[in-house]
């Protein structure tokens, strides 16, 4: 996901291929097959800015610590005009849609929805515009939703307000 005038882009990849994004009520959604393995590619496309740091959360947990994430959590360094791919939690387990490592489940009391989840990237940097990018993933076909006229399943409504940084 790359917003206009933002130098940092986030792509969710399955088997090294970016997944298709879909907009709904001003938010970005992707289809994440429950149990499917994914990685996050974060690009610093800044032409005039510098390096940046990104705090990445999956289902409200920091990917570096497995604790509830905040925008002030420890981040990952992304050099100017470069990209970083993150595909594992700090404990070495791969990312799976709708599935947290056993070790981290106790920390996720605030969020894990059976119909989807949330990925957050908070960008920090002295010369890069600070921004929070949010991707919400669902475990059902986005194309089927378009066929029936849009909207999301009612039980997915809490996903619209799920906070990727619940620790503050």
pLDDT single digits (tens) 65-120: 988 888 899 999 999 889 999 999 988 999 988 777 777 776 665 554 445 688 88
Q: By mean pLDDT, which of 32-41, 90-99, 123-132 is the weakest?
A: 123-132
Alpha helices in the chain, H assignment, sequence order: 102-105, 142-147
Q: Which residues contact 112 (CB under 8 A, 6 or more apart)?
A: 59, 98, 100
Residue 90 DSSP SS3: coil
pLDDT at 127 over 70: no
**Model-wide pTM > 0.85:** no
Of 51, 11, 8, 14, which is closest to residue 34 (Cα–Cα)?
14
- Residue 117 burial class via C-beta count within 10 angstroms: exposed 0-12, middle 13-18, buried 19 and up: buried
Beta bridge partners of 38: 95
Phi, psi of 25, rounded to the nearest 5 degrees:
50, 45
User: What integer is the mean pLDDT of 31-48?
Assistant: 85
Alpha helices in 40-141, H assignment, sequence order: 102-105
Quote the Cα angle for 68-74-79, to 5°: 135
């Amino acid at each position: 996901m790359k917003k206009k005038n933002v130098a940092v882009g986030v792509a969710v990849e399955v088997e090294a291929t970016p997944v298709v994004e879909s907009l709904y009520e001003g938010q970005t959604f992707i289809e994440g097959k429950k149990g499917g393995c994914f990685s996050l590619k974060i690009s610093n496309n800044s032409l005039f800015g510098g390096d940046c740091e990104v705090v990445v959360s999956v289902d409200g947990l920091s990917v570096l610590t497995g604790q509830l994430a905040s925008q002030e959590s420890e981040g990952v360094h992304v050099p100017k005009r470069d990209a970083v791919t993150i595909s594992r939690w700090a404990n070495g387990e791969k990312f799976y849609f709708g599935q947290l490592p056993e070790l981290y489940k106790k920390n996720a009391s605030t969020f894990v929805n059976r119909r989807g989840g949330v990925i957050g990237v908070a960008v920090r940097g002295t010369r890069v515009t600070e921004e929070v990018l949010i991707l919400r993933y669902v475990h059902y076909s986005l194309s089927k939703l378009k066929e029936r006229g849009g909207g999301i399943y009612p039980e997915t409504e809490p996903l619209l307000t799920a906070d990727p940084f619940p620790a503050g």
